[in-house]
Amino acid sequence: MTTMTTTKKRDFLTLTDLTLAEHDRLYARAVELKAERRAGKVHATLAGKTLACVFEKASTRTRLSFEAAIMQLGGHSIILDAAGSQLGRGEPVADTARVTSSYVDAIMFRTFGDDRLAAFAAASRVPVINGLSDGGHPVQLLADLMTVRERLGPLTGRIVAWVGDGASNMARSWIEAALLFGFELRIAAPVGFRPLPNEVHAMRAHVHLASSPEEAVTGADVVNTDVWVSMGQEPETAGRHGAFAGYCVDRALLARAQPGALVLHCLPAHRGEEIAAEVIDDPVLGAAIFEQAENRMHVQKALLELLLVT
């Protein structure tokens, strides 16, 4: 009788699920995969592997980048959304996770509360990747950090300005990244939209609350923003637009940053709200934003390899 050995599965739910050494390896592999795709090299490192992408929130970049990533490495994807599954009829996420993980090799789960993410990951027998939750968007941060490192070099000692909702999932992941990688994060957010005091206190060596967008951006290497109204917050639209007046990333604000500062936005963007059309549509100022989007695919290829092959 043959005895089978199993390796304990690894999830990627937050940035700190990887060590610094693994982040460095992930970045190097993503850069390599990006160059090789542009050179026309074909890979089959995930041949025979299947990724399930489970969506409780709508998506463009997350869906496309994960589907393209697994397919370009020789694997396959299955898309499952709430409307077309029993999740939409109230099936417990643990039940969905147990069944889905018996069919596939990894699962990307895009959801609402972190309690749902945790329950799904706990019940799954295969690696679960956080494709977005209320508490963070770590796969987006992998692409953002890759973009910064490609263009500016090491993250340590850099100054990143966040202009907008400081309590959003994107801001939370940037807070986590600041502590992990040792750069300074300045958050400009209106009262009522700032991180919890205990979050900032725990990371006080790297995270600072600015009194205004101008203060946050002055001398920054990276200027980052996101939509004022995220999915599920639509009833708050009027109040949020009022609160965020004056928080638009435009040329006047960017003039305070370092010359050549990167402008980042995870998309979709609302021109004239959180970012001016004159910035995002400028072929120089807005270039990194669309490179960010492309980098989602490359860094997620490296992540899938790390979780499934190495």
Residue 150 lies in a domain: yes
pLDDT confidence of residue 194:
94
Is 228 contained in some domain?
yes
Span 94-118, mean pLDDT?
97
Mean pLDDT of 113-130: 98
The reply to whether 226 belongs to the active site is: yes
Determine whether 271 is an active site residue: no
Q: Which stretch of 63-77, 129-143, 222-236 has the lowest confidence by average pLDDT?
A: 222-236
Q: Is 112 helix (H, G, I), strand (E, B) or coil?
A: coil
The answer to whether residues 92 and 64 belong to one domain is yes
186 is catalytic: no
Count how many domains the chain has: 2
Per-residue confidence band for 38, with pLDDT thresholds at 50, 70 and 90: very high
Q: Same structural domain for residues 159 and 272?
A: yes
The predicted model gives 31-54 an average pLDDT of: 98
Residue 28 lies in a domain: yes
For residues 145 and 286, membership in a common domain is answered with: yes
Same domain, 158 and 270: yes
User: Mind listing the pLDDT tens digit for each residue in 165-188?
Assistant: 999 999 999 999 999 999 999 999
- Catalytic residue, chosen from 23, 116, 140, 240, is 140
Residue 4 falls within a domain, yes or no? no
117 shares its domain with 173:
no
- Shared domain for 132 and 145, answered yes or no, is no
The edge-to-edge listing of strands for the beta sheet with 184-188 is: 207-209, 184-188, 159-163, 222-225, 262-265
State whether 205 and 95 are in the same domain.
no
Q: How far is CA 265 from its chain centroid?
A: 11
pLDDT of res. 94:
97
In a domain, 188, yes or no: yes
Q: Which domain does 81 fall in, by range?
A: 15-137+295-308
Name the catalytic one among 29, 116, 226, 248.
Answer: 226
Q: Is 151 a catalytic residue?
A: no
Q: Does one domain contain both 66 and 196?
A: no
Task: Say which of 134, 296, 298, 300 is annotated catalytic.
Answer: 296
What mean pLDDT comes out for the span 29-44? 98
**Residue 180 contacts by C-beta under 8 Å, 6 or more apart in sequence?**
15, 16, 20, 23
Question: What average pLDDT is seen over the chain?
Answer: 94
Asked if residue 241 is part of any domain, the answer here is yes
Instruction: Classify residue 8: in a domain, yes or no.
Output: no
Q: Which CATH number fits the domain that encloses residue 231?
A: 3.40.50.1370
Same domain, 236 and 283: yes
Residues 165 and 285 in one domain: yes
Task: Select which of 116, 266, 292, 300 is catalytic.
Answer: 266
Asked if 266 contacts 170 with a C-beta cutoff of 8 angstroms, the reply is yes
Res. 42: pLDDT tops 50: yes
Amino acid, single-letter form, for residue 111: T
Q: Which of 110, 116, 158, 298 is catalytic?
A: 110
**Domain-embedded: residue 66:** yes
d(C-alpha 242, C-alpha 84), whole Å? 36
The verdict on 92 and 183 lying in the same domain is no
Q: Which of 137, 149, 186, 240 is catalytic?
A: 137
Residue 94 sits in the same domain as residue 227: no
